[in-house]
Amino acid sequence: MSIWEYANPKKFLATTERVMPTLWISSAALISVGLVWGFFFTPDDYRQGSTVKIIFLHVPSALMAINAWFMMLVTSLVWVIRRHHVSALAARAAAPVGVVMTLIALVTGAIWGQPMWGTWWAWDPRLTSFLVLFLFYLGYIALWEAIDNPDTAADLTSILCLVGSVFAVLSRYAVNFWNQGLHQGASLSLDKEENVADVFSNPLYVCMAGFVLLFIALVFYRTGTEIRARRIKALIARERLEA
């Protein structure tokens, strides 16, 4: 039994279809519990008032925006090294989810920033890095869409993802250097004295877990779609070949 068995599209489809209902339900449950808990059963912050509660959308989506790219990096590497088609298709499936997460993080950030900083947008390093990440996502998706041959597309996008990751990290540091910003420090971290208070962090954890499960569910679902699309494409090509 090894994880590579799931590189077989059939096996992957069969397994994910079994776990899909659980994933959908548990992510929906976690997100609703987390959001209801966060929105209605936490106190207002003494400085930020009730605006602070957007954190329950902002932080989980920002988390997934970065981790989606990280997942694409890993699956791209698996494709480049082991050439498992499911891996490449999973990377393709994750990109639109990642771009939406990035967009949610940017929009909720703007909505939060308006009352707090008095502006919708500032060229703060964190905000700017997310905008750059958004551009990377767009380029990656556009390249997938532009190429007909699926294997070529998988190869090219994988290399773009690898090179892009390096440049994304570089951009992060460049942007930090370029402008020290307004954004507060990380809301949650393991080694910091001052974190978000427990009343806020507990529902936040629930929301984050919900977003992680939602992301996994969406990626499984979309990968299944990609696999079927690939299969149809292959069958059509095969018919042409036989004719």
Partner 1 sequence: MIALLFRDLKLALRAGGGFGLGLAFFLIVTVMVPFSVGPQSELLARIAPGVLWLGALLACLLSLDRLLALDWEDGSLDLLATAPLPLEGTVTIKALAHWITTGLPLVLAAPVLGVLLNLPVQGFLWLLVSLLLGTPALSVIGTFGAALTVGLKRGGLLLSLLVMPLYVPTLIFGAEVARRGAEGLAVQTPLLLLAGISAASIALLPFASAAVLRVNLR
Partner 2 sequence: MTLTVTDLSVARGGLPVLEGVSFNLRPGSALILRGPNGIGKTTLLRTLAGLQPPLAGRVEGAEEQVAYAAHSDGLKPTLTVAENLTFWASVFGQNGIDAALDAFDLQALRDRAAGALSAGQKRRLGLSRMLVTGRPVWIMDEPTVSLDTAAVAMFANAVRAHLGQGGSALIATHIDLGLEAEVLDAGLFKAKPPALDDFDGGFL
Which stretches of the chain bind partner 1, using CB under 8 A?
132, 135-136, 138-139, 142-143, 146-147, 152, 155-156, 159-160, 162-164, 167-168, 170-171, 173-175, 177-178
- Both tokens of residue 84? 């498992």
Q: How far is CA 144 from the centre of its chain?
A: 17
- Per partner kind, with CB cut-offs from 5 to 8 A, the member of partner 2, partner 1, none near residue 7 is partner 2
Q: Closest CB to partner 1 among 165 and 187? A: 165
- Per partner kind, with CB cut-offs from 5 to 8 A, the member of partner 1, partner 2, none near residue 173 is partner 1
User: 66 to 125, contacts with partner 2 by CB under 8 A?
Assistant: 83-86
45 bridge partner residues: 49
Q: What's the closest the beta carbon of residue 217 comes to partner 2, in angstroms?
A: 24
> What is d(CA 9, CA 179) in angstroms, rounded to the nearest whole number?
46
Helix axes 55-82, 125-146, angle to 10 degrees: 40
- Per partner kind, with CB cut-offs from 5 to 8 A, the member of partner 2, partner 1, none near residue 107 is none
Q: Closest CB to partner 2 among 193 and 242? A: 242
Q: What's the closest the beta carbon of residue 147 comes to partner 2, in angstroms?
A: 12
- Per partner kind, with CB cut-offs from 5 to 8 A, the member of partner 2, partner 1, none near residue 160 is partner 1
